Amino acid sequence: MSVRARTLAAAICLISGVAAAGSPAWETPEASDRKAFAPYIDKVGLKFLVLAGPPAEGSPPDLDDVRGILRRQQTTSAARWAQAEADGDALYAQFSAAFGRPIDRVHAPYTVRLLNRLEKTVAIPTFAAKKVYHRARPYQRLPLERVCGRSSAPTADPDVAKRTSYPSGHSAYGWMAAQVLAALAPNRAQQILQRGMDYGESRLVCGVHFPSDVAAGRLIATAVYERVRRVEAFRRDFACAAAELDTPQSVADRALLAQCGPPPPVEPADGKP
């Protein structure tokens, strides 16, 4: 195992917070009780995940990454750019059309509980890796004409602490959501998984990640999801979400409440709308 890989394993054990500036709002509207959702696997249990680092700057794979970003800057349509901007801001709502129903606490609270715990889990190794590898983002290295969320492309930034390109957090979140939503709605799996791929692609369109960053985010989500599926708490929450989708009555149905406990409150935990 390389020194950097060993460092990542140590970082997973040490990291405590997973919130990061620029992450999408998981729910729409965003709730204030995200911290109340426990991950399915804690940081110690995630030591199994060892992620190789990004390609060395100037190497052939890195130059492929650069070409991929510059090509998208030149060829992306206005409609695709707008989608990428929206994907950068939100997560679950961006999958509602592919899933076939709204993904929020009013219509699918048990599904939201499942998703929130999954995203909390995948965030741990994702942001631990960012702290290890310190890869500059495309807009920090390249003269881009446009970057999502910015009125003008920023100039190169030498601050190592702000170099958080590898792996892509949005891609990890999006691919985690795609995997479990496809399992909940297998008849819509093709649309959902394609939406998950498009969600990661949006990070390249936006000029905020390189292709290898997005691939690494998907890899982390795949590895974590495979491990999480063995966890009893996940299996219970998945069963509750599946039952919710099959229940024609309100989610307050007594049988569902008895099996799954109360769903997450529609109002944020602090009582503010």
Any catalytic annotation for residue 203? yes
Is-catalytic flag, 209?
Answer: yes
CB 22 within 8 Å of CB 148 = no
Q: Tell me if 233 sits within 8 A of 40, measured CB to CB.
A: yes
Residue environment code for 2-36, b if the CB has 16+ CB neighbours within 10 A, otherwise e = eeeeebbbebbeebeebeeeebbebbbeebeebee
Report residue 43 CA to chain centroid gap: 17
Cis peptide before 29 (omega within 30 of 0): yes
Answer whether 165's CB lies under 8 Å from 30's CB.
no
- 136: DSSP letter: P
Q: Tokens representing 217?
A: 């985010």
The answer to whether the beta carbons of residues 69 and 142 sit under 8 Å apart is yes
Query: Which member of 113, 137, 141, 170 is catalytic?
Result: 170
Residues 6+ positions from 86 with CB-CB distance below 8 Å: 94
Pick the closest to residue 234 from 88, 122, 128 (CA basis): 122
Catalytic site includes residue 64: no
- 159 an active-site residue? no
- Contact present, 211 and 64 (Cβ < 8 Å): yes
Name residue, tokens 């190789």. 52
Which of 65, 104, 198, 213 does the annotation list as catalytic?
A: 213
In whole angstroms, give the CA distance from residue 141 to residue 137.
7
Sign of CA dihedral 80, 85, 154, 138: negative
- Residues with a catalytic annotation lie at 170, 203, 209, 213
